[in-house]
Structure 1
Amino acid sequence: MATKGKPRLASTADAAAPSQDDIGVEARVVAGILLNAALEKRNGLDEALSQPPARALAPVDRAFARAVAMAALRRLGEIDQILDRRLQKSPPEAVRTLMRIALAQTLVLETPAFAAVSTAVKLAERDPKTRPYKNLVNAVLRGVGRDGPGLTTAESNLPDWIAARWKAAYGETALVGLALAAREEPATDLSLKPGVDPAAVARLLDVKAGETALDMCAAPGGKTLQLAAAGASVVALDRSAARLKRLKQNLERTGLTAEVVAVPAEDWADVRTFDAVLLDAPCTATGTFRRNPEVLRATRPAEIAKLADVQHRLLDAAAARVKPGGRLVYCTCSLEREEGETQIIAFLRRNPAFRTTPADPAALGAPPEALTPEGWLRILPSMWAEKGGLDGFFAARLERVS
């Protein structure tokens, strides 16, 4: 964030540049835009970052705006609990956004209260829709600063329907752990710490040199590179030709080879079968909420059912590609059982030629408690909190009986 008293170097073309106070205000405007975009739809925050209001900011101010929006997303339930205790009736959404952004700064990012409150009032005053509420904004925010936020619950940061699902699936204690994990910003090197990422699951296939391997949803390509590096002859499929460009570039950069085909995996007409098949299936990605807190707000119950149907079809297509004696790994970065355990239970009933081969958590850097009684891996973001935490994940390793 630009600081008062340290103006940018100016040129003759910059004579009408905004003051540092104005830049601070604009960064908070963008923070509100990013927050609302994230609440409206999946990937909304990233899309808003590429639009003119955000792009017009200097990089440091754009980073500040994103940090504020992410803090507000992670603590949204608690922030609203604090506000609702001080509001006799809910104000217009634009007014609530101003106060959410201000409290995210003071309560999470430890911005000085006078700066956050002053800017919020200034923003309220300059918009005709929020101007009548500027005194309310001032009173509420100063009241929180004077009296403190009061008691809040981490579970309130989870949408009610998701909290109910996770409590039913994993129990009350696990729900509390997940809610506490949702509060925290993960380390920037999360994927380098002990844990699982979409590329690491390729190790579950235990591919040997000279074997054939199929990566069914390959982009952006980390899994394909691991399989190729192990010496396998790899075919990489993905429905997005644009996303496969990055995979091809990485293959060229690393000197590895793979056959890359832009086609939906279930529509691929080739009749080949493989020693090893990897299906990192499209999913709701609710297990990534530490890095992507917006997924919890963007996901809808109907989306879980829709994606579960896609996963069902992809699993059957994957089964048809496995040689007798070959392996199939299915994984998702979702915490929803319909996208993990339930999929594999139903698959094994449909496909008696397959059986579970117990996974080794240590091979993936996962904690021992991630191994389920069935031999699958179910990783919760609350596991290994003392080591920086993990993304939520499900993986199953299956074998086609000869």
Structure 2
Amino acid sequence: MAERPSAATDARRATVALLDKVLGEGRLMAECQTQVLERLSGEDRARAQRLTLEVLRNLERADKILAQHLRKAPPLHVRNALRLGTVELCAGGAAHGVVNDVVNLVARHRRHGALKGLVNAVLRKVASDGPTEWARLRVPRLPKWLRKPLVDAWGAEAMAAMEAVHLAGAPLDLTAKPGADLSALGGEALPSGSLRLHDAGQVSALPGFKAGDWWVQDAAAAMPAKLLNAQAGETVLDLCAAPGGKTLQMAAAGAEVTAVDVSEGRLERLRENLARTDLSATIVTGDALEITGQFDAVLLDAPCSATGTIRRHPDLPQAKDGAGFGELIELQAQMLAHAWSLVKPGGRLVYCTCSLLPDEGECQVEDALDMFPDMSVGTQASTLEWVEQGWITEEGGVRLRPDYWGDRGGMDGFYMAELRKAAD
């Protein structure tokens, strides 16, 4: 079916605007997409998001193709328009529609309109030769600032496997409310209990959404709460809780959950999901370092580099350069120490980060074990059937990587450890 010209133009214009913000201003999509996409229809918004993610995942390939047809780099806005056109054309997009639309986008730009002829010429060459060249190009690599420390940590072979998963993108994982029947969704049941949908479509239109039978949560992100294993009647503290998937898991288990996050906006999503799923938790907007009290169990999903989520957020390695990671690592140590003070004697804490950097995971727990004589690593992880032996780390935590379950679509990179406090 032929696309409506206005729809194609609107989605592509928004895509280039998002690329300008990510690649030109160093902003994450989550920070700017509401502003850029607010005037689009639901269909166009989804298309713009999809196109932006495709371009970011294939940035290295697009630039390699374009380098053959450009004597010098054009202004960023024009270059991003060319990148979009190249990715669409090399993925099999209709040349006439793609080229004309991208040319018109550039032509209407008040500063770069004169470059429409260049865009037309380059994209017509890409339409002719690009798809063949595209098929010969390697899987795109992460930027050097991030790739090097990850190769040092996990090796070149593992890094290549992770990059292949990053390129493929992420399926949709769901966590079921206990007792809910998700058979109408189809999908694949993962060993950890998550349900994976490979072609989900619009989330809110899926069976069981309105009834609150499930919530969206990457399979890896669901594992820390499974490791904590909250029990009915226990008092549980979820620090840095938003958007709240782990809070929902623990509330569904019958625990008395207090969910804390510094972001009121992100907590609003948790409130909406609690209402939709008919679950309850006490929500506190505040700094995790200022929380007081004593709890049977604490879950700390500490602020981190989020390098484990690149398969879902390919904007991250393009928008960031590693600056500020040192401050994050220091903050994690402070939060872990404070969280430990909130655990009752005989209680437990699960520390986790969605990071692939050992400094934010394994190293933090090793340092904490040296610091707190009443802390030990629990054995819960080794008893869980879905935790594979190779995931257990030297200090007793669990390391997850995007290439794990790669034949099923992978998972987010995560680190988690169950820490036990000695009884009085």
Asked whether the two chains share a fold, i.e. TM above 0.5, the reply is: yes
Q: Tell me, what secondary structure is at the counterpart of 1:394?
A: strand
Whole-Å separation in 1 of the counterparts to 2:419 and 2:30: 36
Whole-Å separation in 1 of the counterparts to 2:111 and 2:254: 63
Contact map agreement 2:366 2:395 (CA 8 A) in 1? no
Contact map agreement 1:367 1:383 (CA 8 A) in 2? no
State the 1:86 CA deviation: 2.6
Give the TM-score, by structure 2 length. 0.81
Change (3 A) 1:209 1:128: closer
User: Is it true that 1:263 corresponds to 2:263 in the alignment?
Assistant: no
The aligned amino acid for 1:188 is: L
Whole-Å separation in 1 of the counterparts to 2:385 and 2:21: 35
Aligned to 2:181: none
Whole-Å separation in 2 of the counterparts to 1:190 and 1:184: 19
Stretch moving more, 368-377 or 386-395: 368-377
State the 1:187 CA deviation: 1.6
Whole-Å separation in 2 of the counterparts to 1:361 and 1:119: 55
User: Is it true that 1:209 corresponds to 2:242 in the alignment?
Assistant: no
2:64 to 69, 81, 90: 81
Aligned to 1:172: 156
Aligned to 1:187: 171
State the 1:273 CA deviation: 2.2
Change (3 A) 1:324 1:296: same
Whole-Å separation in 2 of the counterparts to 1:364 and 1:96: 49
Aligned residues: 381
Q: Tell me, what secondary structure is at the counterpart of 1:164?
A: helix
State the 1:22 CA deviation: 4.2
Aligned to 1:234: 257
Task: Please list every run of 5 or more consecutive structure 1 residues that lacks an aligned counterpart in the other structure.
Answer: 5-19
Whole-Å separation in 2 of the counterparts to 1:123 and 1:235: 49
User: Is it true that 1:112 corresponds to 2:78 in the alignment?
Assistant: no
Q: CA RMSD in A?
A: 2.6
Aligned to 1:286: 307
The aligned amino acid for 1:284 is: S
Aligned to 1:3: 2
Aligned to 1:394: 415
1:152 to 109, 130, 137: 137
User: Is it true that 1:135 corresponds to 2:158 in the alignment?
Assistant: no
Whole-Å separation in 2 of the counterparts to 1:364 and 1:310: 33
Task: Please list every run of 5 or more consecutive structure 2 residues that lacks an aligned counterpart in the other structure.
Answer: 176-193, 197-217
The aligned amino acid for 1:332 is: T
Change (3 A) 1:324 1:362: closer
Contact map agreement 1:281 1:331 (CA 8 A) in 2? yes
Whole-Å separation in 2 of the counterparts to 1:294 and 1:143: 28
Deviations along 1:215-266, one digit per CA (max 9) or x if unpaired, are 2222333322332333333333222344444445555565554443332121
Change (3 A) 1:26 1:365: same
Contact map agreement 1:335 1:394 (CA 8 A) in 2? yes
The aligned amino acid for 2:12 is: R
Change (3 A) 1:278 1:391: same
Aligned to 2:337: 316
Aligned to 1:328: 349
Aligned to 2:108: 126
Aligned to 1:340: 361
2:13 to 8, 29, 41: 29
Q: Tell me, what secondary structure is at the counterpart of 1:121?
A: helix
Deviations along 1:66-105, one digit per CA (max 9) or x if unpaired, are 2211110111111112212332221221221111010121
Contact map agreement 2:57 2:140 (CA 8 A) in 1? no
Give the TM-score, by structure 1 length. 0.85
Which structure has the larger Rg over C-alpha atoms? 1
